[in-house]
Amino acid sequence: MKTIDLNCDMGELKTGQDRNYDTEIMPFISSCNIACGFHSGTPQLMTQTIRAAIQHDVKIGAHPSYHDRENFGRKSLQVDPEALMADLLYQIYALKGMVENHGQRLHHVKPHGALYNDLLVNDTLAERFVNTVKTIDPALKIVTLANANIVAYCRTQGVGVIQEGFADRRYEQATQLRSRKYPDAVLHDPQEVLAQIAGFMKGEVSLANGKTAKIAVDTICLHSDTPGAVSLSQTIYHYLKEHDIKIIAPE
C-alpha cells in the first residue's frame, strides 16, 4: 500500500478573520504545522491547536517565520543572520516546550512563507537554518519543497527531511511554486486539486506552462485559509482512502 502524509499550516488567524477551521480539518490530516506567533498565532491558539492535534493523533511541527505579522510572514526581509537564528530558536523552543508540557514531542519544523521560499534560493541561509534546528533537537525533521537544494544538505548533516508538495498551489517548475502575484497561483477547483494529488502519487506535477515535471513527495500540504478548506480536506482524505493510499506521517 502506498503511503502519504497530509499536513496543514495551522494556528493562523488573519486580520479580519473571525475564526479558523483547524479543529474541523484536524481529523483529515496526519501532521500539522503550528504558527509560533511571529507571523500569526497566540499562546492560547497554539495551546488549543496542540490539544486538538493530540486528540486526533496528528504529528505536531513548528511553523516559524520572519518576525512580520504585518505582512503575515509573506514578505522577504533582510535580517541579520544572527538575529534571525535567535528568532527561530525563540519560536521553535516556545512551541517545543508547550508540546512537551502536554506530554508529547515536537516532530518537525516547517518554515513559513517568505522564509520557506528564501531557504530554497539561499544556500547559506538554508545551511544556518538546518544547523540551528539540529542544535534544538537532532531528531527534528525539516519539511521543505521537494527536490530543493536544502534536501541534500539535510542528508549530509544527518537531519531527517520531509519533501513537500502543495495540493492547492500551481507550480512554475518542479522546485518553484507560482508566485501569488498571479491570479492562478492558488488552485480553487477541487478537481484540479485532486488531479494535482493524483500526479504526485505518480511522481509528476503539471506546470504553469502546461508541461509536466518529475517530482517525489513525502507529504502534501493543504492550507487552512484556502476558501472551502474544510470541505477540500475531506475530499482529499476520502480520495486517497478510495485509492488505497494510507495517510500517515513519516516516523
79-to-33, 76, 216 alpha-carbon distances in Å = 23, 9, 32
What was the pLDDT predicted at 195? 97
Residue 184: predicted pLDDT: 94
The radius of gyration computed from the CA coordinates of the chain, to the nearest angstrom, equals 17
Round to whole Å and give the CA distance between 149 and 152: 6
Name, in order, each residue with C-beta under 8 angstroms of 189's C-beta and a sequence gap of 6 or more.
none
Tell me what pLDDT residue 218 has.
98
Q: Of 17, 66, 22, whose CA–CA distance to 48 is shortest?
A: 22
Of 157, 152, 126, 163, nearest in space to 139 by CA: 157
Domain boundaries, position 220 = 2-247
Residue 13: per-residue pLDDT: 78
pLDDT at 16: 59
pLDDT recorded at residue 229: 87
Q: Between β-strands 204-206 and 212-214, what pairing exists: parallel, antiparallel or unpaired?
A: antiparallel
Tens digit of each residue's pLDDT, the chain (251 residues): 699 999 999 999 766 565 678 999 999 999 999 999 999 999 999 999 999 999 999 999 999 999 999 999 999 999 999 999 999 999 999 999 999 999 999 999 999 999 999 999 999 999 999 999 999 999 999 999 999 999 999 999 999 999 999 999 999 999 999 998 999 999 989 999 999 999 999 999 999 999 999 999 999 998 887 778 899 999 999 999 999 999 999 98
User: Could you give the CA distance from residue 20 to residue 23 in angstroms, rounded to a whole number?
Assistant: 8
Domain of 156, CATH number, reads: 3.20.20.370
Number of domains composing the chain: 1
Confirm if 22 and 238 have CB atoms less than 8 A apart: no
